[in-house]
Structure 1
Amino acid sequence: MKRLIGTTLLTTGALVAALALPGAPAQAAEPEPRIDLRVLVVTDGGPATEAIAAELDAAGTPYTKVDLNRADRPVIDAGYLADTVGNRNRAKFQAVVLPNDNPFPAGSAEMTALANYERAYDIPQVDAYTYARPEVGLQYAVLGGYAGSLDGVRAQTTAAGLSGPFGYLEGAVPFEDNSPTVGESYAYLSTPVAGADFTPYVEAAIPGTTERGSLVGEYRHDGRRELVVTFVYNRYQQQFRLLARGIVDWMTGGTHLGSSRNYFAVHVDDVFAADDRWNSTLNCTPGDVDCTDPNAVPDPIRMTAADVDHAAAWQTARGFTLDMAYNAAGTVDFRADNNGADPLADRFVAKRNDFRWINHTYTHAFLGCEQNTSVVPWQCATHPNGSVKWVSRQDVSDEIALNRVWGQTAGLPLENDELVTGEHSGLRVLPQQNTDNPNLGPALGDNGIGWLASDNSREPGQRQVGTATTVPRHPMNVFYNAGRAAEQVDEYNWIYTSRAQGGSGICEDNPATTTCLPAPLDPATGYADHIVPLERQIALGHVLANDPKPHFIHQSNLAEDRIAYPVLDGVLDAYDALFAPSTPVVNLRMKDIGRELQRRSAWRTAVQNGQITAYRIGDTVTVEAPSGTAVPVTVPEGTLRSDSGSAFGEAYAGGRSGWTSLAGASLDLELPHVQALRADGPAPARVVAPAPAARVPAGVAEPVAPGANG
């Protein structure tokens, strides 16, 4: 039921006046203001404000950016910040993000306008990165505090932080230390000024003392609230990724458009087939089209029944489900060569309901152009007139259909509209094939395929291919042709070291490659000490970035030394140590990931086209959009839908969030009644000199490649 607000109520003052003055007309209370669900981001181009903007982008939270470096930027004044709609005052922004507590010149009318606006409408302000000083409620760092690197420091969320905006965390906030030669973090640690109304949310020990200094805290003063952040960061760094959700929740009071989750999904390609092994003498993989030594003999890696049992037991222990992308010809051919026996397939079929399954085509054939492998690298074969020879529509369709029929006969719990082609073939692959196989789209339609895997390293965006929408997948740098750790290290050394060190020289040709090695890894320890931590950190970075795209490995990585598990365990163990049980990893299957990405794209377009209006009046949130629009909303626990009285969304990270499709032109939500936030009495606008530029270390302007120290 909607609560009565606005025009039906009298303020206490109006009621007293009406009672004290017989015959005087009663005065209606001024309607409660309307607060639009949009954030104002004022940026100086620094990494901190850009990181917060990226977080809002990823969640789908609308914001307006004002770039202080642009001469044509709008002037921030009272009219820019607020107006009226009908007879109701409107605040155009629910929160303000500034580069620091005051980025304007001394005596700035714009800072005065912002301060007055925040005070009048109780609008929170985030100081994205500022140094410790009394103007933000903290002592100068030179007065018993600290200013310097926090590389490798383990900060901690305070009790106030855990009971407030950072309650989704377990407590620890470790700062990255990826490179011993690059400074990646810089911070000011200090304690509150005596008498200041300052609540630390994240702290770290002040070196050389028994005190702890604030890194993130709330400062209340002059009827205003500021979130004071005294460490610098970029959008990729783990310390920011851990706190980003809480920063947004603090500034929006937990009520905003958009939503986010921490996702992790892993596809295992080539199940039932065998993957050819890396040859450390030839520095190539016999059986691969680019390994042309006539004496090279393929050495297949294939899972066993014991590997299936291990995978099933691992899933149970971790509460996590793997997606098995299978090639049925692998078991058909194996049985033909082994008197009808295949213990691997038998065990997988017996445990088929333990896993999710995806059609990976029958033989794993290359479904793009016909390959001319007489040259290295291969080229697309051509007709005499120079046109490309393409794999036919019938051949592509047969690969899909035969594999599906085998899976259905075996009772695999398939979703028939999902497909992963071998090597993502059929889609364009540069430099050899700069367009899709024109027969791919029709063959997908012939087989009712709605979701088609693509390689995120080649095509990070979704697109339409015939009836299918692509689902980009993150490749993990755990190689398909390695079943043992030593093989993985040998190939890794070959790829990522210089020619003088016996490597391929790819890093000399492309210095932007982030995984280059200064020297070869030790074959005995390089996998555990370098590759595993690196891949864990990269994958965990995706998980913490509200990125639902799946990762993919190969069945060979679950065989022999089972080299995938240390990476997967590393991601899940690190996650469990950082997040509270209220914030579990979300493990979706491929089509659900595709839908999530598709909805985000449609939502982004609707916001950009001005089709969305959303605001809060008192405890009521209203979202207006064209009927049928899927809308993402995040609200506090206890929020109800006005139309049904039922709880909105799903519980996650201490709040409620999710997508809802508008049945009509609007969605109304009733927020739980929350005690009004305490604010000090009115005071004149405080205008201070702008904060000097805080120090930004080298590792913050650009992401530092994560390494073994991460």
Structure 2
Amino acid sequence: MKRTVRTTVSTVGALITALCLQAGPAQADATGVPRIDLRVLVVSDGGPATDAIAAELDAAGTPYTKVDLTNAGRPTIDAAFLADSVDGRPRAKFQAVVLPNDNPFAAGSTEMAALSAYEQTYAIPQVDAYTYARPQVGLQVPASGGYSGGIDGVRAEVTAAGKAGPFGYLDGAVPFEDNSPSVGESYAYLSSPAPGADFTPYVQAPVPGTSRQGSLVGEYQHDGRRELVVTFVYNQYQQQFRLLARGIVEWMTGGVHLGASRNYFAVHVDDVFAADDRWDTQLNCTPGDVDCSGGAGTPSPIRMTPADVDYATAWQNSHDFTLDLAYNGSGSLDQRADDNGVDLLADKLIADRDRFRWINHTYTHAFLGCEQNVTVVPWTCRTNTDGSTAWVSRSTIDYEIATNRAWGQAAGLPLETDELVTGEHSGLKILPQQPQDNPNLALALADDGVKWLASDNSRDPAQRQVGPATTVSRYPMNVFYNAGRATEQADEYNWLYTSRAQGGSGICEDSPATTTCLPAPLDTATGYADYIVPLETRIDLGHVLSNDPKPHFIHQSNLAEDRIAYPVLSGVLDGYHGLFADNTPVVNLRMKDIGAELRRRTAWKNALNAGQVTAYRIGDAVTVQAPDGTAVTATLPTGTTLDGNAFGSAYAGRVSGWTASAGSALTFTLPSSSAAPAAAPSATAAATAPSPRTKLPTGVTEQVPYSPDN
């Protein structure tokens, strides 16, 4: 049964009066215009849409307060919760409101009335995270020539208004994922603006079976309020949300908020100058490596050639991207010893050294943790006579670091000497065999001035201190170190990701929480291109779109022979460039800069969580105060100044960045073109009936890649 609830203009006015709030935009008083705190109110019903927006705010470092409607002990949203005064000046405690839909409260709710009055009084925008298309949000119901249902694989488009507004960082296309034919991944209500409604579509998609377009994201102005109406469901991992998340935040904050978001991609290539052992498709292990016990098989190493170097430099030039080469100098020494002093690969790489970035990867790629007993699979740590763990010595670790550095410097490699990637990330804890770091590692790092140490994100994701060094977690790509050919990669992938009954290792059966079994083995002739590349590309692009600066790593073997890394790398970058405008480039940082970014984020998040950051806007001035030594991060309109100097650097149509804080207040001056938001023109009050139940199909979660490489 359909029920219509009407709220008249006089009723809204009465509610405002009852809440002791002004009707219309808050007026300047003797002390000036109202103060708007730079904090977002997120009202959640536990659904994926509001959680996704909260995750975006978290990642950027934008403060918010979350009210969980499912928690009986939650605070009541009333006038006192939303606003007060400071030193006689009216204060809005939140610069934006995010609701699970346009009205998640019961009919006649005083909380929704308080929110509406607050938004009118202080010109506060509201995001309807996922709502049903209906006149109350400025849209016709789907039955009136629209559509409700799945939109997996649909290509949506940013409208001209969207490009001129909050989604100007996108090139236009917003493709919706279709990763599984058996899972409904996206559900939407497509509809046109209701007759007479002041509704502007920002993102729309074709209505099936028609030539019409239906809105997916649009702005509805009514009753002195502004709402961003989103009519499709999403979770924080889906590409369509990741593409639109920045615009949602920019819309609701007017481009003035704490925190910043950029799209990062860095790729480390390990074992350069060395050779990598090859997967044996018959033995299902890697001769020469610890996974082949008893010396089984004959090693067949994979090593780049000068032609592979030419290909790498040409690829970099065509993609405006720089690879980071993690090198082992003894690999060249071994090659020269085996070939009468000749190493054409090293000669070529050294001649082209300025085309790459370089990282010390230790001299011989020795294992620097405990002393390994490799006579058993899996290996174990050797013990001393007293039962204690036998550790690789401080002098051995120092030799590996210092000798490789000296070799690189003699070759003229442009090194940052405080960066280090140990072989197999060894020296750091490795579960289950080695549950703690080698205690000699921190000492050797101090000896050699190492400040940034690579770790494996699949095992050691959190940034932490190891003596004087800070870790930088790296994502292992599912392009295996022991594969130079696509058929080898597919064969090993089958071994890892199929059940024992299908001839696989059964790892996926033993670890179902992190590894998904294939329904059937891949065709080794086509499986890499048809299955592995698209999947790995999607996973890696997901990291890029998540404001995640952590680097990815592959191996020099993947740039040799079939050059199997490039389809994935090109897929990520080409896919990215097809989605984003030129003002939003991929940010390609070296390892120490990534580490510094992550460390600043941690300090900023800690300060936010401790309530030590104060930030607000009064007119064209933004004031931020943070603890002494905590760098401040913000996103502001182009032309913003700090102490008379231009702030930040340009990205996605705004300026953003970090600035040092000495514990005193920082005052940013916004450009005159960035006026404080005003309330929308008054119109006939919209009905305030609670939003109908929206359909929430099962979402898709990100696959966690398993990597056989340490």
TM-score between the two structures when normalised by the length of structure 1: 0.94
Decide whether the 8 Å contact of 2:177 with 2:185 is kept in 1: yes
Deviation at 1:385, TM superposition (A): 1.6
Give the structure 2 partner of residue 149 of structure 1: 150
Give the structure 2 partner of residue 533 of structure 1: 534
Decide whether the 8 Å contact of 1:427 with 1:436 is kept in 2: yes
Give the structure 1 partner of residue 615 of structure 2: 614
2:163 matches 1:182: no
2-structure distance, mates of 1:136, 1:382: 69
Give the structure 1 partner of residue 19 of structure 2: none
Give the structure 1 partner of residue 694 of structure 2: 694
Give the structure 1 partner of residue 25 of structure 2: none
Give the structure 2 partner of residue 196 of structure 1: 197
Name the aligned partner's letter for residue 696 of structure 1.
L
Deviations 1:670-697 (A, max 9, x none): 1122356564455797662211321111
Deviation at 1:666, TM superposition (A): 1.6
1-structure distance, mates of 2:76, 2:699: 33
Name the aligned partner's letter for residue 622 of structure 1.
T
Give the structure 2 partner of residue 463 of structure 1: 464
Name the aligned partner's letter for residue 491 of structure 1.
E
Name the aligned partner's letter for residue 222 of structure 2.
H
1-structure distance, mates of 2:446, 2:194: 67
Aligned CA-pair RMSD: 1.5
Deviation at 1:90, TM superposition (A): 0.4
Matches within 5 A, 1:336-351: 336-351=337-352
Unaligned residue ranges in structure 1 (runs of 5+): 1-26
Q: Mark the CA change 1:563 to 1:548 in structure 2 (over 3 Å): closer, same or farther.
A: same
Give the structure 2 partner of residue 21 of structure 1: none
Deviations 1:542-597 (A, max 9, x none): 00000000000000000000000110000000000000000000000000000000
2-structure distance, mates of 1:563, 1:640: 47
Deviations 1:332-351 (A, max 9, x none): 11111111110000000001
Secondary structure of the residue aligned to 1:193 is: coil
Name the aligned partner's letter for residue 540 of structure 1.
L
Decide whether the 8 Å contact of 2:452 with 2:471 is kept in 1: yes
Give the structure 1 partner of residue 398 of structure 2: 397
Give the structure 2 partner of residue 562 of structure 1: 563
Deviation at 1:511, TM superposition (A): 2.1
2-structure distance, mates of 1:296, 1:308: 30
Q: What is the count of residue pairs matched by the alignment?
A: 677
Deviation at 1:516, TM superposition (A): 2.5
Secondary structure of the residue aligned to 2:699 is: helix
2-structure distance, mates of 1:703, 1:370: 36
Give the structure 1 partner of residue 312 of structure 2: 311
Matches within 5 A, 1:548-697: 548-641=549-642, 643-644=643-644, 646-663=645-662, 665-673=664-672, 674=674, 679-682=679-682, 688-697=688-697
Name the aligned partner's letter for residue 563 of structure 1.
I
Name the aligned partner's letter for residue 370 of structure 2.
C
Q: Mark the CA change 1:425 to 1:357 in structure 2 (over 3 Å): closer, same or farther.
A: same
Name the aligned partner's letter for residue 230 of structure 1.
T
Give the structure 2 partner of residue 110 of structure 1: 111
Give the structure 1 partner of residue 42 of structure 2: 41
Name the aligned partner's letter for residue 169 of structure 1.
L
Deviation at 1:626, TM superposition (A): 2.8
Secondary structure of the residue aligned to 2:450 is: coil
TM-score between the two structures when normalised by the length of structure 2: 0.94
Name the aligned partner's letter for residue 664 of structure 2.
A
Q: Which one is further off, 159-168 or 517-526?
A: 517-526
Q: Mark the CA change 1:198 to 1:371 in structure 2 (over 3 Å): closer, same or farther.
A: same
Decide whether the 8 Å contact of 1:112 with 1:685 is kept in 2: no
1-structure distance, mates of 2:623, 2:547: 25
Q: Which one is further off, 186-195 or 605-614?
A: 605-614
Give the structure 1 partner of residue 265 of structure 2: 264
Secondary structure of the residue aligned to 1:296 is: coil
The percentage of counterpart residues that share the same residue type is: 73
Decide whether the 8 Å contact of 1:158 with 1:200 is kept in 2: yes
Secondary structure of the residue aligned to 2:646 is: coil
Secondary structure of the residue aligned to 1:276 is: coil
Give the structure 2 partner of residue 385 of structure 1: 386
Decide whether the 8 Å contact of 2:202 with 2:217 is kept in 1: yes
Name the aligned partner's letter for residue 149 of structure 1.
G
Decide whether the 8 Å contact of 2:217 with 2:230 is kept in 1: yes
Decide whether the 8 Å contact of 1:115 with 1:686 is kept in 2: no
Secondary structure of the residue aligned to 1:111 is: helix
Give the structure 2 partner of residue 7 of structure 1: none
1-structure distance, mates of 2:687, 2:207: 30
Deviations 1:318-358 (A, max 9, x none): 11000000000100111111111100000000011100000
2-structure distance, mates of 1:173, 1:683: 32
Name the aligned partner's letter for residue 408 of structure 2.
G
2-structure distance, mates of 1:653, 1:223: 29
Deviation at 1:627, TM superposition (A): 3.4
Deviation at 1:699, TM superposition (A): 2.2
1-structure distance, mates of 2:596, 2:59: 15
Secondary structure of the residue aligned to 2:535 is: helix
Decide whether the 8 Å contact of 2:223 with 2:683 is kept in 1: yes
Deviations 1:587-616 (A, max 9, x none): 000000000000000000111111111000
Decide whether the 8 Å contact of 1:234 with 1:703 is kept in 2: no
Name the aligned partner's letter for residue 547 of structure 1.
D
2:509 matches 1:508: yes
Give the structure 2 partner of residue 3 of structure 1: none
Deviations 1:117-171 (A, max 9, x none): 0000000000000010111000001111000001000000000000000000000
Decide whether the 8 Å contact of 1:107 with 1:687 is kept in 2: no
Secondary structure of the residue aligned to 1:699 is: coil
2-structure distance, mates of 1:96, 1:471: 35
Matches within 5 A, 1:158-173: 158-173=159-174
Q: Mark the CA change 1:553 to 1:84 in structure 2 (over 3 Å): closer, same or farther.
A: same
Q: Mark the CA change 1:704 to 1:430 in structure 2 (over 3 Å): closer, same or farther.
A: closer
1-structure distance, mates of 2:501, 2:458: 28
Q: Mark the CA change 1:393 to 1:88 in structure 2 (over 3 Å): closer, same or farther.
A: same
Give the structure 2 partner of residue 15 of structure 1: none
Matches within 5 A, 1:403-552: 403-552=404-553
2-structure distance, mates of 1:199, 1:683: 16
